[in-house]
Structure formats: structure tokens, C-alpha cells
Amino acid sequence: MPLIDLDVDDDGLRALYRNAAVVAVPSSAEGFGLVAVEAQACGSPVLASNASALPEATGGAALLLDPFDVDAWARAIRQLFDDPAAAGELRARGIARFVGANRILPALRTLELLREIAHAGP
């Protein structure tokens, strides 16, 4: 049973991201990196694994760490709590990735690809 049971809608999730001191995504097998991307778009400083899709998904705007180096994660989290300038830099880099971005374009490209696959047949 989870320690805290939250039923959060989209507005609530954005508020959580906007107010987070840090969002850590230590996944070693991330498929798309949506948590990291959503957090960046909302202005959270992001720590992410240097594995799987996360380096590409975070676009150079996150601090990347070995997903199995617990000490490095602890140091990075502590650094962001202790150094507001470092956290602010990650916040700014994350937000900058999405300023003026067409948010619907990735969905349209995905739909286009799915149509191509569906029409290709066996």
C-alpha cells in the first residue's frame, strides 16, 4: 500500500511539478522519458539516468547520472537542495526547451507513423 494515495488531475500534476525542489528519474529502462519531459516543461529541475531514452528525451537540460550509482544520486539531490543557482539553471534549461514549441506536433507525427504502419500491411 502506498504511503500517500493521491488522485491527481492534470492541473494538480502540473502544480506538483512546478513546486518540486527536484524530480529524479533513476530509470534504467525508460521507454519515452515522459516524466522527465513533463517535469522540465513545468519548470522542475530534473535529474535523470544516463541510460535508455532519457539523455535524448531531456535534451541536455537535465543532470544525467548512472542509474546504479546511489551515492551520485544522493550528492546531486543534495546539491540541488543546497544550491538554488544550480537548481535554477536546470529549471531554466528545461523550460527553454519548450518555449515556442508546437506541443501537438509530436502527437501528429506519431499518428502519421501509425497510419503508415497500419497501411503497410503484412
pLDDT at 45: 97
Does 69 map to a domain? yes
pLDDT at 104: 84
Does 1 map to a domain? no
Which one, of 93, 107, 104, 14, lies nearest residue 59 by Cα?
93
Could you list the residue range(s) of the whole structural domain that residue 21 is in?
A: 10-120
Does 2 map to a domain? no
Considering the entire predicted model, what is its pTM? 0.79
Query: Which CATH number belongs to the domain containing residue 107 in this structure?
Result: 3.40.50.2000
Which one, of 71, 96, 94, lies nearest residue 22 by Cα?
94
Distance CA 44, CA 2 (A): 23
Does 59 map to a domain? yes
pLDDT tens per residue across all 122 residues of the chain: 556 767 788 999 999 999 999 999 999 998 889 999 999 999 999 999 999 999 999 999 999 999 999 999 999 999 999 999 999 999 999 999 988 777 788 788 889 999 999 988 76
